[in-house]
């Protein structure tokens, strides 16, 4: 079994003071957690400060995006190397909010993926279908096409550090979650594709996590699916007790 990966995606929330308060609460609530990789993705401005507060805790830091160049005349951008320098170990790439609002495409996600690995950041590549695509029966073909294009040109020796987050767009921030069975079906298809692309030996460490209205009430049934290796949590990750309960999901049904 892969080590579960639970990520809190704070999006554009929390200044430095609020971020520190939340992390201090989480440090208490997560004491003793050692069988789950717990990752938080604060806004860029809070990362360096939090790198000190998370040092002796189960939490690792994650960026919400990067640009693919190392440095240069790219006003407003932050590189993978800069995030690693500030204390990040992971980075979220191709979140649907970036795809929908900021012109992110599979091609840009692919460049960012290679840049993240160059800086030893572990990429979390987000994919997901729209409601129209799901209703047209095209969820799996859409998602597998995104995975294929986002991971193009990646060498098999690096794929183990990549995670895929399946986030159906209609489930993000809406309170509507994919049923555990629907999530499992897509996760299984993603895993099969990764095995086909990279071989089971290289790709067996790749984690496929679910995102979209994950909360303390639905995490146990999602994690009970054999191909759900973790969760990407938005809104519920801003509340310390709820996020801690998600991290402490019940393994029993697995
Ligand atoms: P949500 O967001 O949990 O608030 O639906 C998930 C995400 O966008 O990563």
Tokens of 161: 């550090």
Burial (CB count within 10 angstroms: exposed 0-12, middle 13-18, buried 19+), residue 93: buried
Quote the number of domains for the chain: 1
Residues 25 and 8: their CA atoms lie apart, in Å, by 14
In this structure, the residue with its CA closest to atom 2 of ligand 1 is 234
Nearest to 11 by CA among 65, 83, 69, 48: 65
Q: To which H or E segment does residue 211 belong? A: strand 207-211
**DSSP 3-state of 167:** coil
pTM beyond 0.95: the answer is: yes
Residues 61 and 19: their CA atoms lie apart, in Å, by 12
For Cα atoms 70, 72, 76, give the angle at the middle one, nearest 5 degrees. 95
The pLDDT of residue 254: 46
Q: Is 224 within the bounds of a domain?
A: yes
Residues 103 and 105: their CA atoms lie apart, in Å, by 6
Which residues are designated catalytic?
Answer: 95, 167
Residues 94 and 125: their CA atoms lie apart, in Å, by 6
Q: What is the CATH number of the domain that holds 151?
A: 3.20.20.70
In this structure, the residue with its CA closest to atom 3 of ligand 1 is 234
Which regions of the chain are under pLDDT 50?
Answer: 253-254
Q: Is 252 within the bounds of a domain?
A: no
Q: Is 254 within the bounds of a domain?
A: no
Q: Is 162 within the bounds of a domain?
A: yes
Q: Is 253 within the bounds of a domain?
A: no
Q: Is 36 within the bounds of a domain?
A: yes
Nearest to 183 by CA among 164, 195, 203, 166: 166
> Residues near ligand 1 with C-beta < 6 Å?
9, 167, 172-173, 211-214, 232-236
In this structure, the residue with its CA closest to atom 1 of ligand 1 is 234
Question: What is the whole-number distance in angstroms between the Cα of residue 198 and the centre of ligand 1?
Answer: 29
Task: Report the nearest atom of ligand 1 relative to the CA of 236.
Answer: 3
Q: Is 197 within the bounds of a domain?
A: yes
**DSSP 3-state of 176:** coil
Residues 222 and 219: their CA atoms lie apart, in Å, by 5
The per-residue pLDDT of the chain, averaged, comes to 96
Question: What is the whole-number distance in angstroms between the Cα of residue 73 and the centre of ligand 1?
Answer: 32
Measured in whole angstroms, how far is the alpha carbon of residue 164 from the centre of its chain?
7
Burial (CB count within 10 angstroms: exposed 0-12, middle 13-18, buried 19+), residue 16: middle
The pLDDT of residue 1: 83
Q: How far apart are the first and last CA of the chain?
A: 10
Domain that residue 163 falls in: 5-247
Q: Is 116 within the bounds of a domain?
A: yes
| Ramachandran bin of 173, using left for φ above 0, alpha for ψ from -120 to 50, beta for the remaining angles | left
Q: What is the pLDDT of residues 152-188, one digit of tens each?
A: 999 999 999 999 999 999 999 898 888 999 999 999 9
Per-residue burial over 133-160, b = 16 or more CB atoms within 10 Å of its CB, e = otherwise = bbeeeebbebbbebbeebbeebeeebbb
Q: What is the pLDDT of residues 25-61, one digit of tens each?
A: 999 999 999 999 999 999 999 999 999 999 999 999 9
């Amino acid at each position: 079994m892969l080590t579960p990966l639970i990520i809190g995606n704070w999006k554009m929330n929390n200044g430095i003071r609020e971020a520190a308060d939340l992390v201090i609460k989480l440090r208490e609530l997560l004491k003793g957690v050692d069988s789950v990789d717990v990752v938080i993705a604060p806004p860029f401005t809070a990362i360096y400060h939090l790198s000190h507060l998370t040092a002796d805790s189960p939490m690792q830091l994650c960026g919400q995006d990067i640009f693919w160049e190392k440095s240069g005349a790219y006003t407003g951008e932050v590189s993978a190397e800069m995030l690693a320098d500030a204390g990040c170990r992971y980075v979220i790439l191709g979140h649907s909010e970036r795809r929908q609002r900021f012109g992110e495409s599979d091609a840009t996600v692919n460049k960012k993926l290679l840049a993240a690995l160059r800086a030893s950041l572990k990429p979390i590549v987000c994919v997901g279908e729209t409601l129209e695509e799901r209703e047209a029966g095209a969820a799996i073909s859409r998602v597998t096409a995104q995975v294929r294009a986002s991971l193009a040109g990646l060498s098999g020796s690096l794929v183990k550090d990549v995670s895929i987050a399946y986030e159906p767009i209609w489930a993000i921030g809406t309170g509507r979650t994919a049923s555990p069975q629907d999530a499992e079906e897509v996760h299984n298809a993603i895993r099969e594709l990764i095995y086909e692309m990279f071989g089971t030996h290289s790709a067996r460490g790749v984690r496929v996590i679910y995102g979209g209205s994950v909360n303390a009430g639905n995490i146990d049934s999602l994690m009970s699916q054999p191909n759900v290796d973790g969760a990407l949590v938005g809104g519920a990750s801003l509340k310390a007790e709820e996020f801690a309960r998600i991290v402490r999901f019940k393994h029993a049904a697995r």
